Amino acid sequence: MHIVIVSYLFPPSNAIGGRRWSKLCLALKDTGNEITVVTTNANQNQQFYQTEYTGISFVELPNTYPEWMTGHTNSILDKLKYYFTVKFISFFSKQNYFDKTFASKKHCINTLKKIHSNKPIDVLICTGAPYSLLFYGALFKINYPTVKYIMDLRDPWTWCSYYGIPQMHRVKKMYQKYQELYSIKQSDLVCFPTDYMGLVLKEKYPDFSNKFYQLPHAFDPKKFLISNCSINQKNGFIYGGTLYDGIEPYLKSLSKVLRDYSNSSFNWNIYSSKISSNIKSIFENQNVTFNDYIPESELFNKIHESAVYLMFYPIADKDLVSTKFFEIINIGIPILYIGEEGEVSKFIVSNKCGVHILPKNIESEMPKYLNGDVPYQKNYFDVSQFTFDKVSHKFYKELKNRFFINI
């Protein structure tokens, strides 16, 4: 089969949005399929792909989202462009300017047409967010009905609390709902990673429940070449990843606990690519070390040497059980999760992976865990079922049974 995967992000980018299909595409290739990946920055990364993704073709998806549209700029001119563009889109367009592919419709569909003319596409997989890519896949499907279109909904769409959707005007929200429904109608299969998302989709779209398929997040055990180091309980707490907006109140409460219990000898290490001066100031003169983000192999070794893995999720992400859980469980240390109740807390507690502390209870509950004594039951949760090899094999079997039974 010729399988085409459209993913806005892809390695060598470290962004989480590209990790899911970066491994699944390799596993699908190993089952004898021809794989083409459409992603941004493909042209400049061809040498990397030839080394890391031998036998897979990469095609450029033009990036129509300028850097100044992120709003993260010091240029006065860029700030003015950002201000007036956002105002224009807000008043005169139905598009969501948080979606980095909202202006990529023509480029995306034309790219898919060109690929299809050179080598007919059997299966098209579009993964989002950005959600517009899912809509473009549905539009392409209309003109190529023999192509099996798979919509991979990694994150909640119209019912999410981020990507600017809660702040949208009613008309814009209606347009997002139209795109979501249209995409589901045109798809042959709708994938989602978590139980929670499956329940929501079945409730919102009961007429299409036969299209829904849970494709869970997975991890690559080959990445866990842990060095022969013993776990040193004195290495304390560790966090590795993005410090999301909305967790500052959690960190302030945690900082107060560390000040009140300054005799604790445990180290606190935070590894992140973007650490604001504001967050650093919260832990000023405390036993907290901020580090630049390091390669995964190094980070996993650091986690292995630590007593507890810290996890902070803002309320918007309280229901998103990501790949990170399986990776930490595979390493074998407990998780201390700070966040509101949701699918994340339910997963950690029910699978005995660690403890959950509500943000309002940080100051009262955190002190009893400062010595690293976080209860968890190792090997209670069978993480082996979530390796990329097993997940992709099951997914490929689903494709064959549904659409290509004679292959």
Q: What is the pLDDT of residues 230-272, one digit of tens each?
A: 545 557 899 998 887 788 899 999 999 998 887 777 789 999 8
pLDDT higher at 338 or 101: 338
82 is a domain residue: no
204 and 235 housed in the same domain? no
Average confidence (pLDDT) over 376-402: 90
Query: What pLDDT is stored for residue 58 in this prediction?
Result: 96
Q: 206 and 191, same structural domain?
A: yes
134/152 Cα distance (integer angstroms): 8
Structural domain total, the chain: 2
- Tell me, yes or no, whether 228 and 339 share the same domain: yes
Residue 124 belongs to a domain with what CATH number?
A: 3.40.50.2000
Task: Work out the pLDDT band at 355, boundaries 50, 70, 90.
Answer: very high
pLDDT band for 155, please (50, 70, 90 cuts): confident
**Per-residue model confidence (pLDDT) at position 230:** 53
Neighbours of 56 (CB within 10 A): 18
Instruction: Identify whether residues 268 and 398 lie together within a single domain.
Output: no
Position 205 in a domain: yes
Closest C-alpha to 216, from 313, 320, 300, 311? 320
Q: What is the mean pLDDT of residues 279-299?
A: 86
| Long-range contacts (CB closer than 8 Å, 24 or more residues apart) made by 398-405 | 398/189, 398/213, 399/1, 399/123, 399/148, 399/150, 399/189, 402/188, 402/189, 403/123, 403/148, 403/188, 404/1, 404/122
Sign of the alpha-carbon dihedral angle for 31, 128, 66, 16: negative
- Tokens found for residue 117: 């003319």
Contacts (Cβ under 8 Å, ≥6 apart) of 275: 243, 290
259 and 352 co-located in one domain: yes
The answer on 211 and 152 residing in a single domain is yes
Q: Say whether both 241 and 344 belong to one domain.
A: yes
Answer whether residue 93 is part of any domain: no
One domain, residues 230 and 206: no
* Residue 349, domain extent: 221-383
- For the segment 51-62, the average pLDDT, to the nearest whole number, is 92
Q: Given a cut of 70, is residue 226 above it in pLDDT?
A: no
Highest-pLDDT range among 18-32, 92-106, 346-360: 346-360
Percent of the chain at pLDDT > 90 equals: 45
Q: What pLDDT, on a 0 to 100 scale, did the predictor assign at position 235?
A: 73
Residues 6+ apart with CB under 8 A from 199: none
- What's the pLDDT at 339? 92
- Nearest 5°: phi and psi at 323? -55, -30
Backbone angles phi, psi at 292, to 5 degrees: -65, 155
| Domain assignment of residue 109, yes or no | yes
User: Of residues 107 and 297, which shows the higher confidence score?
Assistant: 107
Residue 19 pLDDT exceeds 90: no
pLDDT in tens, 380-392: 988 888 998 899 9
- Could you tell me the pLDDT band of residue 378, with boundaries at 50, 70 and 90? confident
Check whether 397 has a pLDDT greater than 70.
yes
Mean pLDDT of 80-109: 67
Most confident region among 149-153, 216-220, 284-288 by mean pLDDT = 149-153
How sure is the predictor about 70, in pLDDT bands with cuts at 50, 70 and 90? low
159 and 242 part of one domain: no
Quick check: 313 and 359 in contact, CB under 8 A? no
Which bin fits 320, alpha (ψ -120 to 50), beta or left (φ > 0)? beta
Q: Does residue 186 lie in a domain region?
A: yes
User: Which residues in 167-180 are b (16+ Cβ under 10 Å) and which e?
Assistant: ebeeebbebbeebb
Cα distance between residue 151 and residue 65, in whole Å: 22
Do 229 and 207 belong to one domain?
no
How do strand 308-312 and strand 288-291 relate by DSSP bridges?
A: unpaired
Mean pLDDT on 65-90: 61
Confidence of residue 63 (pLDDT cuts 50, 70, 90): confident
Per the DSSP assignment, residues forming a β-bridge with 271 are: 240, 291
Residue 74 lies in a domain: no
pLDDT in the model for residue 115: 97
Residue 90 vs residue 55, higher pLDDT = 55
Q: Is 405 exposed, middle or buried, given 0-12, 13-18 or 19+ CB atoms closer than 10 A?
A: exposed
Examine residue 71 and state whether it is found in any structural domain, yes or no. no
Q: Per-residue confidence at 82, pLDDT binned at 50, 70, 90?
A: low
161-170, 204-213, 288-297: range with highest mean pLDDT: 204-213
DSSP letter for each residue of 20-73: HHHHHHHHHHHTT-EEEEEETTTGGGHHHHHHHSTT-EEEE----S-GGGGS--
Mean pLDDT of 133-159: 93
What's the full length of the chain, in residues? 407
Same-domain status, 237 and 158: no
Q: Looking at the structure, do residues 159 and 197 belong to the same domain, yes or no?
A: yes
Parallel, antiparallel, or unpaired: how do β-strands 237-240 and 308-312 relate?
Answer: parallel
Q: Helix H segments across 93-233?
A: 105-118, 132-143, 170-186, 195-204
237 within domain boundaries: yes
Q: What is the pTM of this model?
A: 0.82
Give the model's pLDDT for residue 117: 95
CA distance 66 to 82: 10
